[in-house]
Amino acid sequence: MKKFFITVLMLNVIVVFGQQKFFTLQQCIDTALKNNLLINQGIYRLEYSELDWKQSKLNKLPNINAHNQHSNNQGRSIDPSTNAYVAQRFSSANYSLNGEVILFQGLTLSNLVRQRSMDYEAAKMDLQQQKDNITIHVILAYLQMMNTEDMLIQLQSQSDLSQKQVERLNILNDKGAIAPAVLYDVQGQLANDQVAIINTKNALGNLRIALCRLMGIPYEKDMEFKREISGAILNEYNGNTQAAYETALNNFAKVKAAEYRRRSAEEAIKVAKGSLFPTLKFGTGFYSNYSTASQGKYFNQLNNNISSAFALTLHVPVFNSFRVRKDIKKAKIDLKDYTLQKTAVKTELQQDIEEAYNNVTGAFERYEALLQQFNYLSLSFKAAEAKFNVGQGTSIDYLIVKNNLDKAAINLISAKYDYLLRVKIYEYYQGITYQ
């Protein structure tokens, strides 16, 4: 019974810890980085690249191999122990241990190590770029969700105001103090508010699902996300695009990856040129054999038949169908290609930064204009509401002013989050993904 209760307790602990319901923005980012398929595939590619790099260094070590051959001979055969012909059935065995090391190969091995090192660094930058991309996508999705939540709060507030007016006008209508059309107008506005709430709730649900998709976790309706955006009035973002571009050149993973690939292409040319030079190898071997045709015992024969050899092998390339020349030309073309790619990445980065900052400036100007519009319409609505409540204004006039204010409030929320999104995108190019 005691074991049963311990098991149940452990299962409950597993369930509790296995079903996280509350997420901060940082937890969303961490979860996405852990579960995202593209990032995990990037990790595997990095591991492959690291193995290639390590192997290129190990290629400098000697190759050592052992060999054993056992034969059954009959008829007229050579006895390996005496190297003489015998006409009898016998068994024989040959043993050898060989080693070989490259002394010189046109520096091909050293250049290959540097090339693989550059490939490995490029793979690291590719992985970092993928992580940065996922991080900014999570941040943008989180902000869009917060934006929709704020819109929902605003719509509910608008609906509550319409509901209070309907309740007030119902009383006046029952007393015959107003025309029924006045009540119907406001009831229609209440219905419009409720439809807007339904649509926004649906949009919010879709945004939550999209965020969970980025995080790589199942969606559950009772999930909660911490609000990380204050309701304070936003300040203008002051940036310097030239300074941002220079920072991005040093920090942006995509630029670093392009540079590493260009340097790898430089080393590839050296590797290809190495095949033009002679290759000098040193080899050694130890040998022994045994034969039943000999009268000696097994271990005595092995000991007596030990031999060794040492050799220096020089391989000089004379003519190889211009294969080496072709490889060198292809390597030079690759270098031109990667150099062009790096230039394109830098140009595109500069354009993206200028565009991002232009969007930041435009978004803030739009936010300021809509904030001013909202303030003016708030004053206008207060006056219209006061007149309507004392019967001096028509329902049409009241609803026009209210709808204008409601629209301005929604537009202001949208402008606020659009500005925050634009700032995050601009900071992303400087390597600032989350603060």
Look at residues 142, 200, 143 and name the one whose alpha carbon lies nearest to residue 419: 143
- Quote the DSSP letter at residue 176: T
Look at residues 81, 96, 70 and name the one whose alpha carbon lies nearest to residue 309: 96
Helices 253-274 and 241-251 pack at an angle, to 10 degrees, of: 50
| Res 128: pLDDT | 93
- Report the C-alpha gap between 387 and 16 in whole angstroms: 56
The residue type at 277: F
Number of alpha carbons in the 13 Å side-chain half-sphere of residue 403: 14
Look at residues 274, 257, 245 and name the one whose alpha carbon lies nearest to residue 105: 274
Name the pTM for this structure. 0.80
- Report the C-alpha gap between 98 and 65 in whole angstroms: 5
| Res 389: pLDDT | 87
| Res 1: pLDDT | 45
Tell me the torsion sign for CA atoms 299, 303, 307, 308.
Answer: positive
Per the rule left: phi > 0, alpha: psi between -120 and 50, beta: everything else, 65 is: beta
Look at residues 112, 104, 120 and name the one whose alpha carbon lies nearest to residue 45: 120
| Res 142: pLDDT | 94
* Cα 206 to Cα 135, 144, 148, 209, 212, distances in angstroms: 19, 11, 11, 5, 10
Q: How many CB atoms lie within 10 A of CB 144?
A: 18
- Quote the DSSP letter at residue 316: -
- Report the C-alpha gap between 363 and 381 in whole angstroms: 26
Please report, for the chain, how many H helices and E strands are present, in that order: 10, 8
Q: How far apart are the first and last CA of the chain?
A: 51
Per the rule left: phi > 0, alpha: psi between -120 and 50, beta: everything else, 378 is: alpha
| Res 84: pLDDT | 75
Number of alpha carbons in the 13 Å side-chain half-sphere of residue 136: 19
In the chain the domains, ranked by start, together with CATH numbers, are 110-277+319-428 (1.20.1600.10)
| Res 232: pLDDT | 66
> Residue-wise pLDDT tens for the chain (435 aa)?
445 444 444 444 444 445 578 999 999 999 999 999 999 999 999 999 999 999 999 999 999 999 988 888 776 777 766 777 777 777 888 889 999 999 888 889 999 999 999 999 999 999 999 999 999 999 999 999 999 999 999 999 999 999 998 998 898 888 888 889 988 988 999 999 999 999 999 999 999 999 999 999 999 988 999 887 666 678 888 888 999 999 999 889 999 999 999 999 999 999 999 989 999 999 999 988 888 777 778 888 888 888 889 999 998 888 888 888 999 999 999 999 999 999 999 999 999 999 999 999 999 999 999 999 999 999 999 999 898 888 888 888 889 999 999 999 999 999 999 999 999 899 888 877 655
The token pair at 262 is: 């260009």
| Res 90: pLDDT | 73
Q: CA Rg, the chain, in Å?
A: 39
| Res 12: pLDDT | 47
